[in-house]
A and B are shown apart, each in its own frame.
Chain A
Amino acid sequence: MEDKLRAIVTKIEASTLKDEDKEELYATISEGLQATVWPVLLKYMPKEQLEYLAADPKGRVTVESYAKLIEDTIKDGVALKEIEEFMNKVLEEVEKALAQEGIK
């Protein structure tokens, strides 16, 4: 993933786009990467914990309960792996979109 991202940034930097356009693209890429995270995390969140918290957020969501929810979600590494796979796909789409505009 790092190599892909680096290659994309190199292409964008080498392009004739204006600096503000480059920044806009970086922001878009960043948003695209971020968008992959919550859906996957939600998929792997322990359902009972999530339901319990969601049923009464004000009363039940604490630093500890939230931290436990996130920790339990990522502790076996499966969610993080899936997130990485999605991020790779996002970057592939970015490459395609850039190529369509002649930034190769």
Chain B
Amino acid sequence: MAEGDADQVKPEMQTLSRVERIKAEIGKWVESQMPPAVGERYKKTFTVFAERLAANRPELLAKLQSPIETAAKVAGLLDPVIKVAVGAAALYGGVTLLLRPDLAVALGSSAVVLGKNALAAGSAAAVGVYKFVETGVKESGKRIKIIFDRLTGFPELVKDDFAGPYSPLDKLKDDMIPKVVPKLPIVKPGNMSA
């Protein structure tokens, strides 16, 4: 069927434009499947958090690094390059994931198609970081390969956008590391508690 040969339009939709009808159909389905589950009480919890973060963003950024640093120490991942890569991913993706998990998950997928590469890379990297933290803690022996696999392999979502020799890791390095390096604490072997 060629475009424009629409199926029979329901009577109640006849006064709407084509786009409005599509939107209405999608909206109706989503509403039927996903009723508002965030009750007022829980909504308040998240609102308070969002306000707190908005007022104190640097604190969040500093604290986000902490669990990742800890996991890196546990795994023996003290290579500064890796620390920087993790820090960059955490900063870009972790913030998105923690602040708006809905956006991180949904836009991590849709953004790639819509061309918002930075956001997609950030979201993908965020999940990669969590995978890394989990893997790093459990399998401390594998170290470097795992983290690079996670950070460069997970952004499957964005591979088409970064096809060729310019890898997602290159993107991380070029775009994000300059912003992150100055903020990362220096941890050296033998100084595990730093």
Contact = CB atoms under 8 A, between A and B. Distances in A.
Contacts of B38: 38-39, 42
Interface size on B, as a range, is 35 or more
Contacts of B37: 38-39, 42-43
Given A57-B48, A90-B30, A98 B22 contact: yes
A41 B105 CA distance: 11
A34 B52 CA distance: 23
A55 B65 CA distance: 28
Interface residues of A, number: 59
User: Across chains A and B, which 4 residue pairs bring their CB atoms closest together, nearest first?
Assistant: A39-B37, A37-B102, A33-B106, A97-B25
Interface of A: 1-2, 5-6, 9, 15-17, 21, 24-26, 28-39, 41-43, 50, 53-54, 57-58, 61-64, 66-67, 70-71, 74-75, 80, 83, 86-87, 89-90, 93-94, 96-104
Interface of B: 1-7, 9, 18-19, 21-23, 25-27, 29-30, 33-35, 37-38, 41-42, 44-45, 47-49, 52-53, 59-60, 63-64, 67, 97-98, 101-103, 105-107, 109-110, 112-114, 127, 130, 134, 156-157
